[in-house]
A and B are shown apart, each in its own frame.
Chain A
Amino acid sequence: MTDRILTVRMEAHPADSNTLDRYEATGGYATLRKALVEMSPEQIRDEVKAANLRGRGGAGFPAGVKWGFLAPAEPRYLVINADESEPGTFKDRQLLERDPHQLIEGIVLSSYALGVNHAFIYIRGEYARPARRVQRAVEEAYDAGYLGENILDSGLALDVMVHLGAGAYICGEETALLNSLEGRRGEPRLKPPFPAVEGLYAKPTIVNNVETISNIPWIIANGGSAYDAIGPEGSRGTRIFSLSGHVARPGNYEVVMGMTWREMIYQIGGGIRDGNELKCWIPGGASAPWFTPAVLDEPVTLDDAGRLGSMLGSGGIVVMDETTDVVAAALSIVKFFAHESCGQCTPCREGATWLERILQRIVTGHGREADIGLLLDVCDNISPGLRWPPAQTTICPLGPSLVSPITSIMTHFRSEVEAMIRHAEPAGV
């Protein structure tokens, strides 16, 4: 049974897994060579659909289904979302730095399947080193005939460009990313129309995450049904989780989903640092509501995380131990979203600022008794009902994301917030 797909090469060949020579020597581009001769674009699309590969960027939408929405108009574009910015997440960085050709082969296969002749890799500006590695790999691929005018004499033409972002989390939202790539402010667009119908330059566009597309070579080599045989239903294939925070062994771990959270944190992550007790964790990036030890024996799958009121999101697991000031932790996350709010929608723009200020005064010992109700009221204006999955009054899900840390501390650690307020200085600001 396959338990690793994406990280095999980099583990076996740490010194040069990013080079074309190593990629070819370990079977790379053989799938492309074969597929361009033996498979039709439709057959590739069918394999990806059969794989039940769910997007690895955060939303978890089935990639094959997304591809199916692509409108017939031309030209069409493929855009790889390498704007990895969700706090707690650093898996795409590793895929970009350590195995860029795996991504490029995935891009060529996908472009062939989708009738695309121009693909972009949108890499966040702070990822200079990963961007250099990808750029070099793209140049190697051009030189070797895997990109360009007439790829491997198949008649397929594909140009790939690396585009650097410039420091804006919101550009990870696919329509904001497209605006950014068009040379605009990275503000999310109202949907519909979805990018598959009107995306980049108002042309049909597929936006997929780095990890999603890095899986395509394996899926085409081994078949969609082989991928669909890995892992539990609804969470097929392997997945890279980024473990960070107070865990003994932080890092990226490619695993088959379905193990329990206890195994994830205590076996894979090596338990809590310094022998401390686990207090809580964020299961899928800073946008996700937090889990507590009560769910340690629940399985790590997309659907189970959803059932329990959160999500696997971007795969970023942030572990907090007993020493954690959870109010300060929530403030850190709210501060992040307040900084990254694009400012288009009032509930998010104003709400984020107010939530940050209220939490700030609680943390600095100036909280007021009414602050708990006020926090929840502001949250309710951003995400009415405070339910999961969240309702939203905003164009994109950034608004509800900043509600998650607050409802998390109010649900699980309300007494700590209350105690902080009770011991506050009376002359609060």
Chain B
Amino acid sequence: MSWPDDVVERAEVMVAKYPESRSAVMPLLYLAMREDKGLTLDGMRQVADYTGLTPVQVESVASFYSMYKRDSVGDYIVSVCTSISCHLLGGDEVLEAVAEETGVPPGETGSDGRLSVEGVECIGACGGAPAVQVNYELVEGVTPDSARRLCRWLADDQPVVISSDQMQADFGGIRSFEWGPAEPGGATGPVPAFGPLGTEGQRS
């Protein structure tokens, strides 16, 4: 299966922007993940075609980085930090609460395919520990209780756009620093919300 026109266009722009086309493999892997809700062999073949690599070279790159998910992932990835600062302030308990509330053990995706749970290493939110990301949108200063509420909100409301500002207001606590102005955008799936990838959605 080939990519829709808008994705093809983005891929071509990416490849042209780098001095060498191989450099586009990382952004293209994100595009492939977004199309297929995870990396598929077919997706990696497409990336290979655009970057002049072989499919196995693409897979060798993809397998190195933890954000490229070679198994299918949910609409939401809930990532709970358990590195040192979060560990000291209860990150492990937050991860337990998330796993219990969702019924999804760390590293797995629920049977309905909606939600994946993972314990992750440092996400640079140590001053707001413990911290969680949903689709790489951050919420700082969570507790096991607020993390449970966050999970229930994902299940009940099924938000289309995940926004840091909204989650921080509803489920967050102490922050690493003052965040500055609120953002209208957020994540539309389990890849980073970033303009050039076309993955940023606007809150309604």
Contact = CB atoms under 8 A, between A and B. Distances in A.
Interface of A: 10, 14-18, 75, 84-90, 92-94, 97-98, 118, 124-129, 131-132, 135-136, 161-169, 180-187, 201, 242-246, 250-252, 282, 286, 316, 318, 320, 324, 328-329, 332-333, 336, 339-340, 342
Given A250-B176, A252-B176, A329-B88, A336 B194 contact: no
Interface in B149-203: 164, 174, 176-181, 183, 185, 187, 192-197, 200
A126 B180 contact: no
Contacts of B85: 87-88, 244-245, 318
Given A10-B180, A129-B137, A164-B26, A246 B88 contact: yes
B26 to A, nearest CB: 6
Given A129-B138, A201-B20, A244 B127 contact: yes
B121 interface: yes
B30 A166 contact: yes
Contact of A90 (B18, B61, B126, B194): B126
B87 interface: yes
B120 to A, nearest CB: 8
B194 A132 contact: yes
Name which of A18, A125, A181, A336 has the most chain B CB atoms within 10 A of its CB. Answer: A125
B18 to A, nearest CB: 7
A329 B26 contact: no
B129 A86 contact: no
A118 B174 CA distance: 39
Contact of B19 (A86, A89, A118, A324): A118
Contact of A329 (B27, B87, B127): B87
A186 B183 contact: no
Interface string B16-32: 01111011111101100
B38 interface: no
Given A118-B19, A165-B65, 12 more contacts: A86-B122, A93-B176, A94-B177, A98-B178, A128-B136, A132-B200, A166-B29, A168-B66, A183-B26, A243-B127, A245-B88, A318-B85
Given A132-B183, A320-B88, A336-B84, A90 B124 contact: yes
A4 to B, nearest CB: 14
Contacts of A10: 178, 180
Interface in B90-141: 120-129, 133, 136-138
A336 B51 contact: no
30 contacts: A15-B181, A18-B180, A85-B124, A88-B122, A90-B125, A118-B19, A129-B183, A132-B183, A132-B195, A135-B194, A135-B195, A161-B18, A163-B27, A165-B26, A165-B65, A166-B29, A168-B66, A182-B23, A184-B22, A201-B19, A242-B176, A244-B126, A244-B129, A245-B85, A246-B88, A250-B174, A252-B127, A252-B177, A332-B82, A342-B64
Nearest to A247: B127
A160 B79 CA distance: 30
A282 B84 contact: yes
